[in-house]
Structure 1
């Protein structure tokens, strides 16, 4: 059996980078997809020959598909894909919200997930593979006027639907749903909140689960 392979979006920092580090430590070969070519190159320099930089834009289907196909060709197939890329909003609520900002967020948080899944599915089907999506505590409760939260409700609903679809060929889908995480997503550090490594732990737990066990969702919250 060849080494397991994992393709990660939003891989240049935060949760994506932490997951790449843990995956490599656990013997996985990783394909790292994000817009920041410089950050990806630095991460590959750190991780070595088990990592490949695949710069691209998650809001462009061709960009995602080309990267997924390139990684699959390079490593001989894909065992798992982590649709992790996401973005938030600076103006909260509906009345005060910025429609242009909403549109960009939907492109990343909704269409970016769809493009990643669409590009990945043929490869995952070949290996009874595993799909992971970054959801959020904001996608499990109602927050006054939150358009961001609604985008994560989509991820949770779609993830459940994917679990049913992938069951047909022996595949699995897991939604990783964290509360507040100390990542570049926020302007100010949040040292008392979850760390990216906590989310990476959850990803690895889902990936390591026996094939008889479908881990449909992991919900993590900071204790503080």
Structure 2
């Protein structure tokens, strides 16, 4: 799982561990990753085991090495989660082009290279590829490049699903609405807990082999869009 040390990613890791699954998380900050993995062990954290490695989700070599490390640590790979992503401040007139580049690489290129690295293992195990999108991938905001990256994820998920028909690999696109994380500068109109997103993912992954839940949109009750 990319971007697994905070927000939705941390909730995905913790809820997966509580469900008894082993999890391999990546992050870019060594100190944060180490502290997070240490917090995921001990009483009350569940029956699964947490592993991790430093990796930039937008770096092909690091992503490929992280997938290899996950396979070695856990003995295989059943689920790959492209969760890493962020939103740049400003609009298309006053935003920072350098930050735009990082955002596009993380949000759009990142899921593609994770899939490329993970697909041989997912195919062998008839596993799941999970892509974290957003309700912003269904709605246009004036001058907002982040929404364009999430539109890209929406399209990429369906393109990948069609490519993998017949392989046994299922593709799950999760599109959360407003999620209650510290990243908000101003409180949204309504927000769900990140644990709710994690529970939705685990529900979709638990469906029998003949059932393919390919998209889940999850919002807080009362969210405007």
TM over 0.5: yes
Structure 2 unaligned blocks of 5 or more: 42-47
Query: What's the counterpart of residue 219 of structure 1?
Result: 217
Asked if 1 retains the 8 angstrom alpha-carbon contact of 2:77 and 2:121, the reply is yes
Give the CA deviation at 1:168. Answer: 2.4
Q: 129-138 or 180-189, which moves further after superposition?
A: 180-189
- Provide the aligned C-alpha RMSD in A: 1.6
Asked if 1 retains the 8 angstrom alpha-carbon contact of 2:178 and 2:190, the reply is no
Q: How does 1:159-178 map to 2 (within 5 A)?
A: 159-178=157-176
Asked if 1 retains the 8 angstrom alpha-carbon contact of 2:64 and 2:117, the reply is yes
CA deviations over 1:68-113 (Å, ceiling 9, x no partner)? 1011012111000110000101102x22333222111101101111
Query: What's the counterpart of residue 10 of structure 1?
Result: 3
**Mapped partners of 2:205, 2:183: distance in 1:** 25
Query: What's the counterpart of residue 4 of structure 1?
Result: none
Give the CA deviation at 1:42. Answer: 2.1
Query: What's the counterpart of residue 55 of structure 1?
Result: 54
Structure 1 unaligned blocks of 5 or more: 1-7
Query: What's the counterpart of residue 42 of structure 1?
Result: 35
**Mapped partners of 1:178, 1:98: distance in 2:** 26
> How does the TM-score come out when normalised to structure 1?
0.91
**Mapped partners of 2:84, 2:211: distance in 1:** 26
Aligned pair count? 216
SS at match of 1:184: coil
**Mapped partners of 2:148, 2:53: distance in 1:** 29
Q: How does 1:126-145 map to 2 (within 5 A)?
A: 126-145=124-143
Match of 2:195 among 189, 194, 197: 197
**Mapped partners of 1:100, 1:36: distance in 2:** 20
**Mapped partners of 2:9, 2:103: distance in 1:** 18
Query: What's the counterpart of residue 108 of structure 1?
Result: 106
> How does the TM-score come out when normalised to structure 2?
0.91
